[in-house]
A and B are shown apart, each in its own frame.
Chain A
Amino acid sequence: AQSVTQPDIHITVSEGASLELRCNYSYGATPYLFWYVQSPGQGLQLLLKYFSGDTLVQGIKGFEAEFKRSQSSFNLRKPSVHWSDAAEYFCAVGASGGYQKVTFGTGTKLQVIP
């Protein structure tokens, strides 16, 4: 069974600073990896996804993530954080069995201070 670990429950960064949110997955085959963002009381918005190919993936809102198979990681990065990025971020892994079985991490809450 697949699993996802987001080791940081809460992160605080200053506006304009760089950001890296960690995600480690466990899955025996090639994983399908996603990052979503959720604002309070809202649904999840897809930031980016990795299925195959280039291991550095560009997403919306200036986010990128790098798939590192050797480290079983899919960390999310942004070079300069904006106050509007304050939200909760979820990493997720999907199975390769052809079914929509997606497992989410517990989320990282990002606080941005001016």
Chain B
Amino acid sequence: KAGVTQTPRYLIKTRGQQVTLSCSPISGHRSVSWYQQTPGQGLQFLFEYFSETQRNKGNFPGRFSGRQFSNSRSEMNVSTLELGDSALYLCASSLGVQRGGTDTQYFGPGTRLTVL
């Protein structure tokens, strides 16, 4: 089975621009979660999508948004980029149907975003 893929792997943008990152989950997985990883803040949960609906959301400003398509592929968008948005953005996929619990998440390689 193919793993989680993320595109692009690297991005350089300038302040004020917007960016869209893409994530293709493992086949059969319906849940996609996004995380931001920085040296100072570590891994922080952005949001989770399941069957095209946002099911969970972390504490990030509204500039961070996402969506999920019917084939479970997900995109994350950041508008009005700030220098502090420079980070590794990780996508994780899971079945998302564990009754009363948390399914195992499988991570993609990440997208390295640099904001100048």
Contact = CB atoms under 8 A, between A and B. Distances in A.
Contacts of B88: 41
B40 to A, nearest CB: 10
Interface residues of A, number: 26
A43 B43 CA distance: 11
B104 A43 contact: no
Given A99-B48, A101-B56, A32 B101 contact: yes
A46 B96 CA distance: 16
Contact of B56 (A45, A46, A100): A100
B102 to A, nearest CB: 3
A18 B27 CA distance: 38
A97 B100 contact: yes
Interface in A85-105: 90, 94-105
Interface string A44-56: 1110010100000
Interface of B: 4, 31, 33, 35, 42-43, 45, 48, 50, 55-56, 88, 90, 92, 94, 96, 98-110, 112
30 contacts: A32-B101, A34-B104, A36-B107, A41-B88, A41-B110, A43-B90, A43-B107, A44-B92, A45-B107, A49-B104, A90-B43, A94-B102, A95-B101, A96-B100, A96-B101, A97-B100, A98-B101, A99-B55, A100-B31, A100-B48, A100-B55, A100-B56, A100-B94, A100-B96, A100-B103, A101-B48, A101-B56, A102-B45, A102-B102, A104-B35
Interface of A: 32, 34, 36, 41-46, 49, 51, 90, 94-107
